[in-house]
Every structure is written in structure tokens, then in C-alpha cells.
Structure 1
Amino acid sequence: MDMLTSAEQRTLEQRMQKRQVKEFVGAFGGLVEHCFTSCIDDFTSKSLSTKETGCLNRCVLKWMATQQRVSERFQEHNAQITQQMQK
């Protein structure tokens, strides 16, 4: 980024932020859709049943744990690549 002007750097940072927000919204939407489809099956009431609430809680916790593990593995992989490139 040293070769970019300050205006170009700001533009790049803005684009990166917009993309991150878009990716987060997409991932969150995927989580909502997946957990809703997996857990909600009774539409006779406005409120969630105890079973549905428990299912949603487990679904979200599993999703969060999975995302954390994927992130950790991605970081480990990037560290290995960086280390190999430095040799």
C-alpha cells in the first residue's frame, strides 16, 4: 500500500470495509436461514416453543464454533504459507 496515494488508500479501505460488511451480512443471513429452516416447524403460534428455542441456541452456538475453528485453521494455513515464503 506504500505505492498508493492517500486518496487511493482511502478508496481501497472504504471498498474493503464495504466488502466486509457485505460478507458479514451474507454470512449472518445464511445463519438465520439455516437455523430457521432446521429449527422452526410450528407456525401455529407467534412465540417460539421451548424445543425451537433450544434448537436455535444450539444451532447458533455450533455455527459460531464452526466459524471460529475455520478462522483458526485459515490463520494457521496463512502462517504456514508465510513461513514457507520466507525460507
Structure 2
Amino acid sequence: MDGLTPAENRELETRLQKRQVKEFMAVFGNLVDNCFQSCVDDFTSKALSGRESGCISRCVTKSMATQTRLGERFAELNAAMSAEMANR
């Protein structure tokens, strides 16, 4: 970010960090909501049943793997686009 003062750089960093935290919390909240809705259906006890616990574990693992793969694919496409732009 050339041309920014140190104060402007700090402000930009602060805003970016706040945005990243907000986006992370939204993704995390969606993950929790999705896995809860998919796996928890017995409200007769405070504790999760073994089936519910296993389902939540699989749901979280699958969701995290999906997010990881999406990030990898995005990086692959970004690298391809960057290489294409450099070759022009």
C-alpha cells in the first residue's frame, strides 16, 4: 500500500483484521448451524447422544475438508490467472 502514512497503514490493518474476524465468525456460525441442524434431533437430554456426537464430528471434518479444498482450488486458479496475465 504505497503512498499511505503509517497511521493510515495501521488503520487499514485494523479494518482488515476486523473484517477477517467477522468473516471467520460468519463461516464458523454457518458451520455450527449446519451441523447442529443436520445432526441434533433429540432434545430430551442436555448431552449429545453417541450418534449425534459422531454425526457432528463427521460434519465438521467434512466441512473443514471442503473449505480447505476450496481454498486450494482458489489458489490454483489465482496462480493460473496470474501466469496468464504475466504472459500477455
* TM-score, length-scaled by structure 2: 0.96
TM-aligned CA deviation for residue 54 of structure 1: 0.5
Instruction: Let me know the Cα RMSD of the aligned residues.
Output: 0.6
Q: Deviations over 1:31-87 (max 9, x none)?
A: 000000000000000111000000000000000000000000010111111111111
- Displacement of 1:2 after TM fit? 1.4
Q: Which residue of 2 aligns with 1:66?
A: 66
Percent of matched pairs sharing the same residue: 61
Unaligned runs of 5+ in 1: none
Partner of 1:29: 29
Q: 1:11 aligns to what?
A: 11
Mapped to 1, the partners of 2:32 and 2:61 lie a distance apart of 12
**Amino acid across the alignment from 1:43:** F
Greater than 3 Å deviation, 4+ residue runs: none
Which residue of the partner structure matches residue 49 of structure 1?
Answer: 49
TM-score (norm. length: structure 1): 0.97
What is the rounded CA distance, in whole Å, between the counterparts of 2:4 and 2:77 in structure 1?
Answer: 28
